[in-house]
Chains A and B, each alone.
Chain A
Amino acid sequence: MTRSSTRRAIVFATLAALATAPAWSQADKPLRIGFSMARTGMLAMATPSQMNTYELWREQVNAKGGMDVGGTKRKVEFVTYDDQSKPEQAVRIYEKLITDDKVDLLLAPWGTPFHISIAPVLEKYKFPMIGNTAASVALRQVKPGYIWFPTSAIPDRIGAELTAMLKANGVKSVAVLSNVLPFTKEIKNALEPELKKAGIAITVSSEYPPDIKDMTPVLTQIKSANVDAVLALAYPGDSVLYAKQAKELGVNAPFQFIAIGPTDAFFPKAVGAASADDVVSIAHWAPRADWKGSQAFYDAYVKKFGEDPDFLNSALAWMSLEILEQAVAKNGLDKEKIRAYVSSTTFDTINGKVKFDGVQNSITPTAFVQYQKGKLQIVWPASIATGKYEPKKGW
């Protein structure tokens, strides 16, 4: 026998052995859960808080013996691809996950455009998926059925609630500073009419591009306007720039709101704990005694990753996993039953009760958090607050 024919014989023998091996029973086979995530590209920096949450969940579920699938426990295995921060890539990946990889369940990718792009794929294959890190008024245009959005941080509701919070705290004049990217632009468009309606003066209103490197010109203008509140509708990158330069130039309005960024653990590290204190931001979660599992989730995340979870994105990701777990425990892997169940059931999550009305969460209120002595506390609305709003005393 030559060497190559020996090798061929071995390969055939192995294949034959595999083919005749007794079929594994369902319970031994791992449950395969697929999703795409931006691991490279311009959004990659935003995804770790969500990805970490998925990892933590898989670890915990497998440590308990697996995910409960209609009464049988099955170990969880992830099938995941990099979507390179491109929504069209995510569309192809979800098609592949469903038709080629034949995964058992799907988790959400990161970000609004990705959720919206894959919604038709889910519809086409009648494959239910609980969304998480998506927030836009455009979500309401998504056809209800196979996708749900647990967030309550929808721009128009943020506009109304933020105005109410400003009014309750005696703010008479504001400066609005907005990144032109979609989410913050939507907030601005919703917020400014609400402010006018409430009689709060918009003394400065300015926009800037995402690649801004220096805010000296606009912050100088805001400083000389001497307003009660600065509403910095910023994304993670520019949220740090704003905080650093507001400190440099002494923009000392007592109410400091920064839209996205402060809820992620990198923020206090990047600007310094003292600067982060008393900054208000968007999130509707914080560990609370009456939200079962919220403290345990927080502790487990900190233990595994050595930093705080993102109070918005990590919490949303975890909520979506909790909802999926409850739905699958009850219905097994029957897609239609899962769909019907998720659409009609009230779920218990680390963010309290969640019930979907169409694609939207109809229970969780739109809320704001504030750093207080290095910890994020919900300060608005009073119904779920864990702390009381404090005006910011300088950077």
Chain B
Amino acid sequence: MSLLETLLSGQFLFAALVTGSLYALIALGLNLVYGTMRMLNVAHGDVVMLGAYGAYGAFALLGVSPIVAAPFVAALGGLVGYGLYRGVFRRLLASSTPASAGRLEANSLLLFFGLSILVQNIAALAFTPNTRSVASLSDVWHLGNVAMTGNRLVSLVVAGTTCIGVAWFLSRNIAGLAMRAVIERREAAFIVGVDVDRVQRTSFVLGFASAALAGALVSMLEQFSPFSGFPFTIAGFIVIILGGLGNVKAGLLAALLLGAIETYGVALTSANLRSVLLYGSFVGALLLFPNGLFARRAARR
């Protein structure tokens, strides 16, 4: 296949969008939690994994399609986020002063890391380490010369609209604006009367809900096991580093870019180079644009 054919192929564009939108949805939650609280949730991918099991459970026990179960799985994820915030992190954050913020960042990393291992192994005990996958919406649709299975199309639509919805929330809704204020100038937001605790709680709930939603989508797209969360965490990290830590909208663009790099890069070289392409662009971005590819605002700070 020639270079031009590859670049113009609708099939590749679709593949890049499906991959990119899923990355975007996963990175979204990671970024919200990091942005508002400066905590890197290393267990984020495990929430995705649990979301996938939630959708699988609904399918296996109740016969409900993952796409119907998705909102409930997301709500459940949000509830878990709420509980975790109230139970563990609010106290941690309340006791932090600007001086101890660095320590909190390190501590939260360890805490989430421990949580991640705990969740994986409990999931392995509870669900067995068998791989699962849901065969749902697997009819093939044709749009022009692009073939797409229902589940990939649905994944693209759901992940895409959710990301756009959250972006809208952050730039138009008053609660979203408050969240952005906390992300960009935490102390200033506090001084002008933003309820920081509430913003943090909301971002925790949103972060976990979006991860669980991504999990419900993953359950239709690929196989998963209790140990398949970590690669999602890594993908999320690459995206938010590319886009700039805490910069949610840039993260969405970075996710699409990463999806494109992966699809077109593999098409033009070899599938064996997938990891090289992904991590290469990650390292390259860190060296050339340490504040993220779209860091205009951060540079002026």
Contact = CB atoms under 8 A, between A and B. Distances in A.
Interface of A: 39-42, 44-45, 47-48, 180, 206-209, 211-218, 220-221, 224, 236-237, 240-241, 244, 247-250, 266, 269-272, 275
A209 B140 contact: no
B231 interface: yes
Given A45-B225, A214-B262, A237-B131, 7 more contacts: A45-B227, A218-B266, A220-B9, A220-B11, A237-B223, A249-B147, A250-B140
B33 to A, nearest CB: 24
- The 8 tightest CB contacts between A and B, nearest first, are A44-B129, A208-B271, A217-B267, A216-B15, A270-B133, A45-B225, A272-B135, A248-B149
B133 A42 contact: no
Nearest to A275: B138
B15 A214 contact: yes
Interface in B116-139: 120-121, 124, 128-133, 135, 138
A250 B124 CA distance: 35
Contact of A217 (B12, B131, B275): B12
B291 interface: no
Interface in B1-35: 1, 9, 11-12, 14-15, 18-19
Interface of B: 1, 9, 11-12, 14-15, 18-19, 120-121, 124, 128-133, 135, 138, 140, 147-149, 152, 222-223, 225-227, 231, 262-263, 266-267, 270-272, 274-275
A41 B131 contact: no
A244 B138 contact: yes
Contacts of A237: 131, 223
| Majority-rule SS of A interface residues | helix
B152 to A, nearest CB: 7
Contacts of B18: 214
Contacts of A215: 271
Interface centre among B147, B152, B275 (most CB of A within 10 A): B147
B19 A213 contact: yes
A247 B74 CA distance: 29
Residue from B124, B148, B223 whose CB has the most chain A CB atoms within 10 Å:
B223
A271 B131 CA distance: 13
Contacts of B120: 40
Contact of A236 (B12, B19, B131, B227): B131
Contacts of A206: 270-271
A110 B267 CA distance: 35
A40 B124 contact: yes
B128 to A, nearest CB: 6
Given A208-B272, A248-B149, A269 B227 contact: no
B129 A221 contact: no
Nearest to B117: A40
A40 B222 contact: no
A265 to B, nearest CB: 9
Nearest to A208: B271
Given A180-B272, A244-B138, A48 B128 contact: yes
